[in-house]
Amino acid sequence: MKRIVIFASGSGTNAENLIRFFHNSDNASVIQVLCNNPHAKVLDRAKNLKVSSLCFNRVAFSKTDDVLNILKASKPDLIVLAGFLWKFPEFILNEFPNKVINVHPALLPKFGGKGMYGMNVHKAVVTNNETETGITIHYVNENYDEGAIIFQAKCDVDSNDSAEDVAAKIHELEMEYFPKVIAQLLNE
C-alpha cells in the first residue's frame, strides 16, 4: 500500500478530495495531514475523515529536523502539497527526491513564484486579460513553482470572468485531475 502525506495551510478542499479519492483504494491511502496553520479548516477535515493530522511551526519545519523526522517515521511514497504556502526546505527535499509534488492554480511558468497563490493568481490572470488558464502539477524543488512539470490542464477565461469565476474553474480542474495524476504517479 502506497503512503501519501499531505501538507496544507488552509481550508483543505483538495486534501479532503484526495483523502476521499484514496479512501477505498487498494493501492494507496492518505496517512497523514501536516499543517502550518493551527486555525486551518484542513485540520477539522482530516479529523472528520479519521486521518492523522499534526500542526507545526516554522522552526520545526525549516530550522530543525522535527518535521523531517516525522516524515521519515511516516515513510511516505509521495508528499503532496495541497494549498501549502511555505517554501519547502532543501534538506527535506534532499531526503525525498522526486517524491514531493504541488498543484499550482495557473499554467506555469506563467503566474508562479513567491506570493503567487490562490486569489493572487486568479486576479493576475484576469488583470492580464488571459484567454486561458489552468492547473499545473509539478515536482517541488528549492524554488517556488520551478520544479519539473508533471501535468497541466487548461480552461478558458472569458472576457467577463471575475477572479472568483476563474477560481471556480480552477477548483473544478483540481478536483478532477489532482487525484488521478497522483494515482498515476504512484503506479509508475
Q: Is the pLDDT of residue 188 over 90?
A: no
pTM: 0.96
Q: Is 104 a catalytic residue?
A: yes
Q: Convert the pLDDT of each residue in 99-135 to its tens digit.
A: 999 999 999 999 999 999 999 999 999 999 999 999 9
Contacts 24+ apart (CB under 8 A), 90-95: 90/142, 92/67, 92/68, 93/140, 93/141, 93/142, 95/68, 95/71
Domain extent, residue 143, equals 2-187
Selected catalytic residue, list 104, 122, 138, 171: 104
Overall number of domains in the chain? 1
Residue 16's pLDDT is what?
A: 98
User: Can you give the CATH number for the domain in which 54 is found?
Assistant: 3.40.50.170
